[in-house]
Amino acid sequence: MRRRIKLKRKQRKINRVILIIFSLIIVIILTMKFISLKANPILLEYAEMESRKLVSIVINDAINKNITENINIEELFIIAKEGDDIKSIDFNPITVNKILTETTSLIQNNLKFLEQGKIELLNLTTNALVDYNQNKLKQGIIYEIPSGVIFGNSFLANVGPKVPVRFSLIGDIVSYVNTTVTDYGINNALIEVNVVLDLSFQIILPFVSDKTSINTTVPVALKLIQGNVPSYYLNGLNQNSPSIALPIN
C-alpha cells in the first residue's frame, strides 16, 4: 500500500516537472517569436542600409578605377564640325560598348568575390574598404549589427551579441551610359557622362533574408564642347545609350 502511495507521489512529481518544462518551452517559443517579429524588420533595415553603402562603394570605386586606367574619354564622342560650327554630336558606339562591358563585368566579379570573402581578388583602390573589418570580409560577413539596436535606445545600441550580415547577388546587372547636356557660356555645351547600374541582391541574416535592389549613377566624365552648337544636338545626345545586361553566374 505504502509502495503504491510512493509511486503515485513520484508520478505526480514527474508530471509536475514535465508540465513545468513544457510550459517553459511554450514561453520561450512565444518570447522568441515576439522578439523575432519586433527585431527582424529593424535588423533588416540596418542590414539593407549597410549593404547598399558597401555595394555603392564597390561600384563607384570600380568604375572610377576602370575609367581612369583603361578608357579614353575623348573617344566617347563623335563630333562633326563644319568650320567653327558643330553639325552633330553623338556617342561612339564602340567606346560605349567597351565601357559598359568592362565596367559591368568588373563590378560583377568584385561583388561575387566580396560575397565569397575573396577580398584579395578585388580590383579596387587600396583604401576603398579601409573602414571595414578585413577579417570579417574574408568570412563573407560585410557588416555586424549590434542586437541592441532593436530597442531603439542610443544607450543600448552597441550592446548585445552582434548579428552578421551577408549578401548574395541575384538576377542580372543592367548598365547603360547616360548623358546630360547643358549650355555653358556662349556657344558652348557642357556634357556630363554617367554610368548607370541596376542590380539586385539578397540580404542574409541568421534567421531571415530579404531581397533589395540598387540603382546607382556614377559620373565618369565632363567634357566642354566649344563652338557654335546647333539647337538640335540635344536630340542626338541627351539620352541613354543601349543597355547591357550581364547575368549573375
The model's pLDDT over 151-210, given as tens digits with 9 standing for 90+, comes to: 666 666 677 778 889 988 887 888 888 887 777 777 777 888 888 888 999 998 887 888
Report how far residue 59's alpha carbon sits from residue 217's, in angstroms, rounded to the nearest whole number. Answer: 9
Report how far residue 225's alpha carbon sits from residue 91's, in angstroms, rounded to the nearest whole number. Answer: 14
**Quick check: 36 pLDDT over 60?**
yes
Which secondary-structure segment (H or E) carries 81? strand 77-82
**Quick check: 218 pLDDT over 70?**
yes
Above pLDDT 90, what percent of the chain?
3
Half-sphere exposure of 51 (CA within 13 A, CB side): 29
Instruction: Output the pTM of the full model.
Output: 0.73
More confident residue, 90 or 104: 104
Amino acid at 47: A
Strand, helix or coil for residue 220: strand
Report how far residue 103's alpha carbon sits from residue 106's, in angstroms, rounded to the nearest whole number. Answer: 5
Q: Is the CB of residue 203 less than 8 Å from the CB of residue 44?
A: yes
For residue 82, the cross-strand partners are: 85
The model's pLDDT over 13-29, given as tens digits with 9 standing for 90+, comes to: 777 778 888 888 887 77
More confident residue, 116 or 27: 116
